[in-house]
Amino acid sequence: MRNLITSLFLLLLFNSLAAQSRQKPINERVDSVLAQMTLDEKIGQMTLFTTDWGSTGPTIRPGYREDIMQGRCGALFNAHGVTFTRELQRIAVEESRLKIPLLFGYDVIHGFKTIFPIPLAEAASWDTEAVKASAEVAADEASAAGLHWTFAPMVDITRDPRWGRIMEGAGEDPFLASVVAAQRVKGFQGEATFDEPNHILACVKHFAAYGAPFGGRDYNTVDMSERMFREVYLPPYQAAIEAGARTVMTAFNELNGVPATSNKWLLTDLLRHELRFKGMVVTDYTSINELVEHGVAADEKHASELAVMAGSDMDMQSAAYHRFLKGLVEEGKVPIERVDEAARRVLRLKFELGLFEDPYRFCDEQREKEVILSDRNRSIARDVARKSIVLLRNEGVLPLPKETKKLAVLGPLAADKDNLIGFWSAAGEGRHCVSLVEGIRNKLGENVELLTAKGCEITGDDKSGFARAVEMARQADAVVVAIGESREMSGEAASKVDISLPGVQEDLVKALMETGKPLVVVLMNGRPLTIPWLGENAPALLETWWLGTEAGNAIADVLFGDYNPSGKLPVSFPRHVGQIPVFYSHKPTGRPYQPNDKWRSQYLDESNEPLFPFGYGLSYTTFEIGSPKPDKTSFRSGEVVKVQVKVTNTGNREGEEVVQLYIRDKVASVTRPVKELKAFQKVSLKPGESKDLRFTLFEKDFAFLDQNLEWTIEPGEFEIKVGNSSDNVKAVVVERVE
Ligand code: BGC
């Protein structure tokens, strides 16, 4: 009876406090809730568990319903859909003591149900509005399915295509990746006022440098200079934080000897003090437990202490805070202020989302029905998908005539749907995808006869299907052959030492080419592949990545010229795996390559150059990019340099070109890359049309870290290089004077 009276009293007190405080600033409201909480309840807010539904790793905790009721977890992931989230939220706000609403997270990486191109592909669009639109639709659908929080964007730079998670980022370059990171955050979060329940919290991950594991092996050690870290790997995280990302996820890897999840320098000194991040830090999946395997924690209790004191606010799935944090506070190893700080950050997010006012704000069945997989969303997905395609080669084959009467559509991925959604495809389903065969049929209707066969599987050495495929090619006017990777070949825990085309797919192309028919190779894959033979011999080669739900329609748009391809590679394609890392913004070395001189930085058995460089991509029209014209030949501190560039469509089709601006600091006190991207613009031009593009270079664009790791700009000459690929530029020199 006494318990009942106490509970009733607490309930009334809480409700009246919540009601009174509705008008108060969020900080005060957070504090008033915190003041009611027991230590256990605070630790509950610092705990994130997965449901047993669609987990992305080992589910170590059944019984999450009881956890919610007891206030043992303040957030859940891998639960979505209004019915399910409403039921879980009901347990939290009706059956737990303090009725604090739950936060629902999920990996909404490139779409929720309407799946967009994989993030690497979207980066290939170099279309900042398209990237943002994709995140907006993802947020709209996810929020309509009861979700509040996505574990995206992943902004890890990588220069290693062996690493399967390359598909999830924006490629090799800090500038492009930073622009993309900021756009994704804005798309997910909108204005971040959450006035309407159609945006969700973003989570920048994985902090930090997860994309540089030794050997490209996922979860492996990362060790790099602070210069490299700050100049190349850090900028996209910073850009996402500046764009307002509310949460940050730690990384699995160690960085220079200290695992990210227990790295105080990363999570507190850098993130809080230097980057001024105000939001909440969540760990990656069981990464607190993994501190024991890393060898920095004696046991999971010790791991909890290290993680929380370093700055990890919320424990994803380790159940380590749940089990050990109370003891650590009682023993004086973790100050209660640290727990309060972390719990406060979580509560703040819930207030910002409006969940204290209405815990079911994101649970609207009607909206869920209307928004998810809507025609509008599919048409945006189609637009983003076609913009993400990169034309790598075209010997006059593309675009194919729409009058084609007989078309062979071959290859293991020609009629496939399941692989097109790619890895990390949230609630996406292959059955909603438009296959390539369907896309072509949608485009050409019944006027075309389609001959389709796989020819071979993605993997294995069975060539018994070749003869039938070759026969179809012989009968057809033209051949489209879709080959590549299956979706689980790239993504998390999908590192590879051999990144050539799997199985006998390349042999299939060779056999088909012997027919002499016009042939288009359509690549569907999650990472750069080593395909030198195709890169030099395919009559036409389209990189379509994994384009998502509308893949087939988008590819058909490009094949038949309804969309003129405009994508550019966000990452170099190596010729050979032994060249890795191969990237455009390398340093010069003391012995730069020169033909016919052995004693140079080079390989005996392979060129230094990638097969296709960063920034490369063809169009069905041609563009002439003039020499860059700076507004001054010398500039001083505080001055900007304006650069004008004329771009002309010299072909006979309308098209878009990505004009890229790079700089090189010719002489500096530390070595500088041979080129660094500093700006780009994507411009659409009619045949014969010209535009004058204007770029503005600010002081920061000329800056670098000096020998003391201080940002500096040194006097001297800088080359400004402009072109339509990192290997095709025109240069002009400007001088920085004292
Ligand atoms: C991944 C994260 C992901 C998390 C939750 C981990 O394995 O590294 O990126 O957000 O699982 O699914």
- Which tens digit of pLDDT belongs to each residue from 703-724? 999 999 999 999 999 999 999 9
Supply angle C-alpha 237, 240, 241, rounded to 5. Answer: 85
Please give the helix or strand (H or E) that residue 181 lies within, else none: helix 174-189
Ligand 1: atom nearest CA of 168 is 9
Can you tell me the distance from the alpha carbon of 24 to that of 437, in angstroms, rounded to the nearest whole number?
Answer: 58
Strand partners, 222: 255
- Kindly report, residue by residue over 296-316, the tens digit of the pLDDT: 999 999 999 999 999 999 999
* Ligand 1 proximity of 492 Cβ (cutoff 6 Å): yes
The pairing of strands 280-282 and 315-316 is: unpaired
* Ligand 1 proximity of 682 Cβ (cutoff 6 Å): no
Number of domains in the chain: 3
Cβ(359)–Cβ(33) under 8 Å?
Answer: no
* Ligand 1 proximity of 284 Cβ (cutoff 6 Å): yes
Buried residues in 435-455 as b, exposed as e (16+ CB within 10 A): bbbbbbbebbeeebebbbbbb
Specify the DSSP class assigned to residue 553: H
- Kindly report, residue by residue over 165-206, the tens digit of the pLDDT: 999 999 999 999 999 999 999 999 999 999 999 999 999 999
* Residue 520 and residue 412 in one domain: yes
Q: Binning pLDDT at 50, 70 and 90, where does residue 64 land?
A: confident
Domain CATH number, residue 629: 2.60.40.10
Of residues 79, 76, 86, 131, the one with CA closest to residue 109: 131
For a mutational test of ligand 1's pocket, the pick from 156, 200, 210, 492, i.e. the residue with the most ligand atoms closer than 8 A to its C-beta, is 492
Q: Examine residue 588 and state whether it is found in any structural domain, yes or no.
A: no
Ligand 1: atom nearest CA of 206 is 9
* Ligand 1 proximity of 210 Cβ (cutoff 6 Å): no
Ligand 1: atom nearest CA of 205 is 9
* Ligand 1 proximity of 285 Cβ (cutoff 6 Å): yes
* Ligand 1 proximity of 205 Cβ (cutoff 6 Å): yes
**Atom 10, ligand 1: residue with shortest CA distance:** 151
- What is the distance in A from the centroid of ligand 1 to the CA of 284? 6
> 3-class SS at 168?
helix
**Atom 7, ligand 1: residue with shortest CA distance:** 285
* Ligand 1 proximity of 41 Cβ (cutoff 6 Å): no
The pLDDT of residue 3 is above 60: no
Cβ(587)–Cβ(553) under 8 Å?
Answer: no
**Atom 12, ligand 1: residue with shortest CA distance:** 56
- Cα-Cα-Cα-Cα torsion 647, 648, 650, 655, nearest 10 degrees, comes to 80
Can you tell me the mean pLDDT for 568-578?
98
* Residue 367 and residue 473 in one domain: no
Task: For residue 77, give both structure tokens.
Answer: 């992931």
Specify the DSSP class assigned to residue 487: G
- Kindly report, residue by residue over 342-357, the tens digit of the pLDDT: 999 999 999 999 999 9
Task: For residue 177, give both structure tokens.
Answer: 């990746």
The pLDDT of residue 610 is above 50: yes
Can you tell me the distance from the alpha carbon of 577 to that of 591, in angstroms, rounded to the nearest whole number?
Answer: 22
In the block, which residue shows the tokens 């989302």?
353
Domain CATH number, residue 554: 3.40.50.1700
Ligand 1: atom nearest CA of 57 is 7
Q: Examine residue 602 and state whether it is found in any structural domain, yes or no.
A: no
Cβ(409)–Cβ(524) under 8 Å?
Answer: no
- Kindly report, residue by residue over 29-46, the tens digit of the pLDDT: 999 999 999 999 999 999
Q: Examine residue 215 and state whether it is found in any structural domain, yes or no.
A: no
Task: For residue 262, give both structure tokens.
Answer: 């227990």
* Ligand 1 proximity of 702 Cβ (cutoff 6 Å): no
Supply angle C-alpha 459, 435, 188, rounded to 5. Answer: 100
* Residue 367 and residue 453 in one domain: no
- What is the distance in A from the centroid of ligand 1 to the CA of 48? 12
Q: Is 654 left (phi over 0), alpha (psi -120 to 50) or beta?
A: beta
Can you tell me the mean pLDDT for 514-534?
98
The pairing of strands 390-394 and 258-259 is: unpaired
> 3-class SS at 222?
strand
Of residues 385, 737, 411, the one with CA closest to residue 547: 385
Can you tell me the distance from the alpha carbon of 267 to that of 204, in angstroms, rounded to the nearest whole number?
Answer: 13
- What is the distance in A from the centroid of ligand 1 to the CA of 370? 29
Least confident of 4-18, 90-104, 569-583, 688-702: 4-18
Can you tell me the mean pLDDT for 511-531?
98
- What is the distance in A from the centroid of ligand 1 to the CA of 418? 21
- Kindly report, residue by residue over 622-681, the tens digit of the pLDDT: 999 999 999 999 999 999 999 999 999 999 999 999 999 999 999 999 999 999 999 999
* Ligand 1 proximity of 57 Cβ (cutoff 6 Å): yes
Dihedral sign, CA of 538, 540, 541, 544? negative
> Who's near 693: CB < 8 A, 6+ residues apart?
644, 645, 646, 647, 659, 681, 683
Ligand 1: atom nearest CA of 56 is 12
The pLDDT of residue 602 is above 80: yes
Ligand 1: atom nearest CA of 203 is 10
Dihedral sign, CA of 647, 649, 654, 655? negative
The pLDDT of residue 22 is above 70: no
Ligand 1: atom nearest CA of 252 is 8
The pLDDT of residue 516 is above 90: yes
For the chain, the straight-line distance linking the first and the last C-alpha, in angstroms and rounded, comes to 81
* Residue 651 and residue 550 in one domain: no
* Residue 436 and residue 416 in one domain: yes
pLDDT at 56: 55
Can you tell me the distance from the alpha carbon of 505 to that of 521, in angstroms, rounded to the nearest whole number?
Answer: 11
- What is the distance in A from the centroid of ligand 1 to the CA of 107? 7
- What is the distance in A from the centroid of ligand 1 to the CA of 50? 11
* Residue 367 and residue 429 in one domain: no
* Ligand 1 proximity of 110 Cβ (cutoff 6 Å): no
The secondary structure of 431-475 as a DSSP string is: GGSPPHHHHHHHHHGGGSEEEEE--S-SSS---TTHHHHHHHHHH
> 3-class SS at 496?
coil
Residue where a domain terminates, one of 319, 347, 373 = 373
- What is the distance in A from the centroid of ligand 1 to the CA of 413? 28
- What is the distance in A from the centroid of ligand 1 to the CA of 204? 12
Preceding peptide of 570 cis, ω within 30°: no
The secondary structure of 404-424 as a DSSP string is: -SEEEEESTTSS--GGGG-SS
Q: Examine residue 165 and state whether it is found in any structural domain, yes or no.
A: no
AA letter at 716: G
Cβ(126)–Cβ(567) under 8 Å?
Answer: yes
Read off φ and ψ for residue 665, nearest 5 degrees: -85, 115
Can you tell me the distance from the alpha carbon of 6 to that of 36, in angstroms, rounded to the nearest whole number?
Answer: 13
**Atom 2, ligand 1: residue with shortest CA distance:** 284
* Residue 369 and residue 386 in one domain: no
Output helix, strand, coil percentages for the chain, rounded to the nearest 5. Answer: 35, 20, 45
* Ligand 1 proximity of 107 Cβ (cutoff 6 Å): yes
Can you tell me the distance from the alpha carbon of 131 to that of 180, in angstroms, rounded to the nearest whole number?
Answer: 7
- What is the distance in A from the centroid of ligand 1 to the CA of 105? 11
* Ligand 1 proximity of 675 Cβ (cutoff 6 Å): no
- What is the distance in A from the centroid of ligand 1 to the CA of 106? 9
Q: Examine residue 316 and state whether it is found in any structural domain, yes or no.
A: no
Task: For residue 451, give both structure tokens.
Answer: 């001959």
Cβ(642)–Cβ(722) under 8 Å?
Answer: no
pLDDT at 52: 76
Neighbours of 553 (CB within 10 A): 25
pLDDT at 723: 98
> What's the full length of the chain, in residues?
738
Residue where a domain terminates, one of 576, 607, 638 = 576
Least confident of 44-58, 59-73, 709-723: 44-58
- Kindly report, residue by residue over 375-434, the tens digit of the pLDDT: 999 999 999 999 999 999 999 999 999 999 999 999 999 999 999 999 999 999 999 999
- What is the distance in A from the centroid of ligand 1 to the CA of 172? 21
Residue where a domain terminates, one of 321, 347, 373 = 373
Cβ(586)–Cβ(674) under 8 Å?
Answer: yes
In the block, which residue shows the tokens 């009629």?
415
Rounded to two decimals, the pTM is 0.96
Ligand 1: atom nearest CA of 152 is 10
- Kindly report, residue by residue over 228-281, the tens digit of the pLDDT: 999 999 999 999 999 999 999 999 999 999 999 999 999 999 999 999 999 999
Give me the active site residues, please: 284
For a mutational test of ligand 1's pocket, the pick from 48, 56, 201, i.e. the residue with the most ligand atoms closer than 8 A to its C-beta, is 56
Read off φ and ψ for residue 406, nearest 5 degrees: -130, 120
For a mutational test of ligand 1's pocket, the pick from 52, 285, 316, i.e. the residue with the most ligand atoms closer than 8 A to its C-beta, is 285
* Residue 441 and residue 482 in one domain: yes
For a mutational test of ligand 1's pocket, the pick from 55, 166, 284, i.e. the residue with the most ligand atoms closer than 8 A to its C-beta, is 284
In which domain, by residue range, is 388 found?
A: 380-576
- What is the distance in A from the centroid of ligand 1 to the CA of 152? 10
- What is the distance in A from the centroid of ligand 1 to the CA of 424? 10
Least confident of 52-56, 60-64, 551-555, 683-687: 52-56
Dihedral sign, CA of 268, 274, 279, 285? negative
Strand partners, 254: 259
* Residue 552 and residue 420 in one domain: yes
Of residues 252, 133, 243, 236, the one with CA closest to residue 177: 236
* Residue 396 and residue 522 in one domain: yes
* Residue 367 and residue 413 in one domain: no
* Ligand 1 proximity of 156 Cβ (cutoff 6 Å): no
* Ligand 1 proximity of 55 Cβ (cutoff 6 Å): no
Task: For residue 141, give both structure tokens.
Answer: 């659908």
Q: Examine residue 502 and state whether it is found in any structural domain, yes or no.
A: yes
Q: Examine residue 643 and state whether it is found in any structural domain, yes or no.
A: yes
Dihedral sign, CA of 723, 727, 730, 733? positive
- What is the distance in A from the centroid of ligand 1 to the CA of 180? 20
- Kindly report, residue by residue over 242-257, the tens digit of the pLDDT: 999 999 999 999 999 9
Cβ(97)–Cβ(44) under 8 Å?
Answer: no
Task: For residue 357, give both structure tokens.
Answer: 């006012």
66 vs 413: which has the higher pLDDT = 413
AA letter at 288: I
* Residue 495 and residue 637 in one domain: no
Can you tell me the distance from the alpha carbon of 360 to that of 271, in angstroms, rounded to the nearest whole number?
Answer: 32
The pLDDT of residue 109 is above 80: yes
Share of the chain above pLDDT 90, in %: 94
**Atom 6, ligand 1: residue with shortest CA distance:** 285
The secondary structure of 282-348 as a DSSP string is: E--TTTTTHHHHHTS-SSHHHHHHHHHHHT--BEES--HIIIIIHHHHHTTSS-HHHHHHHHHHHHH
* Ligand 1 proximity of 54 Cβ (cutoff 6 Å): no
**Atom 11, ligand 1: residue with shortest CA distance:** 285
Q: Binning pLDDT at 50, 70 and 90, where does residue 222 land?
A: very high
Can you tell me the distance from the alpha carbon of 535 to that of 541, in angstroms, rounded to the nearest whole number?
Answer: 7
Can you tell me the distance from the alpha carbon of 112 to that of 100, in angstroms, rounded to the nearest whole number?
Answer: 26
> 3-class SS at 252?
coil
AA letter at 639: E
**Atom 8, ligand 1: residue with shortest CA distance:** 284
Q: Examine residue 665 and state whether it is found in any structural domain, yes or no.
A: yes
For a mutational test of ligand 1's pocket, the pick from 78, 107, 219, i.e. the residue with the most ligand atoms closer than 8 A to its C-beta, is 107
What separation in angstroms does the CA of 655 have from each of 125, 205, 443, 562, 579?
Answer: 13, 35, 20, 11, 34
pLDDT at 62: 76
Can you tell me the distance from the alpha carbon of 386 to that of 37, in angstroms, rounded to the nearest whole number?
Answer: 51
Strand partners, 391: 542, 618
For a mutational test of ligand 1's pocket, the pick from 151, 207, 247, 288, i.e. the residue with the most ligand atoms closer than 8 A to its C-beta, is 151
- Kindly report, residue by residue over 475-514, the tens digit of the pLDDT: 999 999 999 999 999 999 999 999 999 999 999 999 999 9
AA letter at 575: R
**Atom 4, ligand 1: residue with shortest CA distance:** 285
